[in-house]
Amino acid sequence: MWQADITYVATKEGWLYVAGVLDACSRRIVGWAADDAMPTTLVARAFERAVQTQRPSPGLLHHSDRGSQYASGAYRELLRRHGVIPSMSRAANCYDNAKMESFWATLKGELIGDHVFATRAEAKSAIFSYIEIFYNRTRLSGFNGAGLGTARKPNNLVPRDKRKPASMEPGWEQPGNPNGFCKSIASRSSFNGAGLGTARKRPRAVV
């Protein structure tokens, strides 16, 4: 099964929109694309890149949220041509796409933190290095049983003490938004087996 989603990265030129396709079994990012807008062609480029590199057999399940790009006739036709079966999240339920959301939280927490890239090109280059050189080859979670997920951080990652909550999407950074951390916290599953993103339990009050 593949999972697909779009996220946003802040730059001084404006938002960079990043579409990704994740293999739910290996947890690898098998396709991604980035641009200054998010039309259907953005997610189509990410999907086509995944098809070119993975060459999936007919019957593959493709899961996404209910975004207009994924629900569009052009994208659904693209899936049909490759024999891929579309699946979409239940209304207002982000947990159906948790693995993809978890990856975005990991990328933003480890690569970006509170850093704002000067240009979209700079952000795209950093994301390329993170996904293609570090994450897919070294960083992958311990879920795959190969002992991965314990590698050292690459030198260009933002120091931990300078990071802030991973979610950088428009609206989520607004002060006073009680749901502001919902997306990043809920998506950081301990399912990866490497102890990453495992939330601490709230201590019980002493009576």
- Encode pLDDT of 26-56 as tens digits: 999 999 999 999 999 999 999 999 999 999 9
Statement: residue 206 has pLDDT above 70: no
Of residues 7 and 176, more confidence is placed in: 7
Q: What is the mean pLDDT of residues 6-13?
A: 97
Strand ranges in the chain using DSSP code E only, listed in sequence order: 2-11, 14-23, 29-35, 61-64, 85-88
Count of alpha carbons within 13 angstroms of residue 132, beta-carbon side: 12
pLDDT in the model for residue 201: 38
Total residue length of the chain:
207
Class assignment of domain 2-192? alpha beta
pLDDT in the model for residue 153: 46
At 113-147, the pLDDT tens digits run: 999 999 999 999 999 999 999 999 887 655 555 44
Instruction: Tell me if residue 151 falls in helix, strand or coil.
Output: coil
Of residues 154 and 182, more confidence is placed in: 154
Residue 186's pLDDT band, with cuts at 50, 70 and 90, is very low
Mean pLDDT taken over the chain: 76
Statement: residue 194 has pLDDT above 70: no
Residue 207's pLDDT band, with cuts at 50, 70 and 90, is very low
- Judged on CB neighbours under 10 Å (0-12, 13-18, 19+), 178 is exposed
Bridge partners for 18 per DSSP:
7, 34
At 151-180, the pLDDT tens digits run: 444 444 544 454 444 433 443 333 333 333
Count of alpha carbons within 13 angstroms of residue 191, beta-carbon side: 14
